Amino acid sequence: MTTRTSEKLSVLNKRADFLRAARARRQAMPGFHLQARRRAPGEAEGIRVGFTCSKKVGNAVARNRAKRRLREIARALLPAEGLPGWDYVLVGRAGVTADRPFEALTSDLSEALRRIHATRKPPHQP
């Protein structure tokens, strides 16, 4: 993909945006789950990203640590590997997101983005 280091990230903060992303494409990775959706024309510009960790991840300290790590990998990779006009939601996983090595989380996000944006093959026709 081309490098777009000047792309600014906006943060999702409305519940409706998170719900729309949850109904779109999903990719499970060892360190987190990625939900992504392409916005309709006329919606907000640029790349938008949201973060969430349920109570299954742990207490408030564990959830905040997991979200900090997710924010950092998003800040590092999404401007270069994300696509404008897309919403991304990173969902922390219990017992993994806060403890997984940072390099592994980074490679997880890169692979998840590659899979989400891969062109889908048309169904096989006899």
Q: What is the mean pLDDT of residues 2-24?
A: 80
- Residues 89 and 52: beta-carbon distance below 8 Å: yes
pLDDT digits (tens, 9 = 90+) for 105-125: 999 999 999 999 886 655 555
Mean pLDDT of the chain: 88
Tokens of 11: 């943060």
CATH number of this structure's domain 9-117, picked from the four choices 3.40.50.150, 3.40.30.10, 3.40.50.620, 3.30.230.10:
3.30.230.10
Phi-psi group of 47: left, alpha or beta (phi > 0 → left; psi -120 to 50 → alpha; rest → beta): beta
Q: What is the mean pLDDT of residues 55-74?
A: 93
Residue 80 CB contacts under 8 Å (≥ 6 apart), including other chains: 1, 3, 4, 5, 7
Q: What is the mean pLDDT of residues 25-43?
A: 91
The domains of the chain are located at 9-117
